[in-house]
Amino acid sequence: MNKPLHALLFILAALSACSTNTAQYQDQPLVAKVVNGMSQDQVMQIAGKPDAESDRTVVPGSCYDYMLNKAGNRQPYSVSFDGNGKVDKTAFMTCAEWSNAQHKARLPSMGGSSGSGY
Residues 51-88: tens digit of each pLDDT: 999 999 888 999 999 999 988 889 999 999 999 999 99
Coil, strand or helix: which one is 82? coil
Report the alpha-carbon distance of residue 88 to residue 61 in Å, rounded: 10
Element (H, E) at 30: helix 29-33
Mind listing the domains of the chain with CATH numbers?
Answer: 3-105 (3.30.1450.10)
- Answer yes or no: are the C-beta atoms of 74 and 87 closer than 8 Å: no
Of 19, 1, 8, 29, nearest in space to 115 by CA: 1
Report the alpha-carbon distance of residue 68 to residue 94 in Å, rounded: 11
What pLDDT is attached to residue 103? 83
What pLDDT is attached to residue 63? 97
pTM for this entry: 0.73
Q: State the average pLDDT for the chain.
A: 82
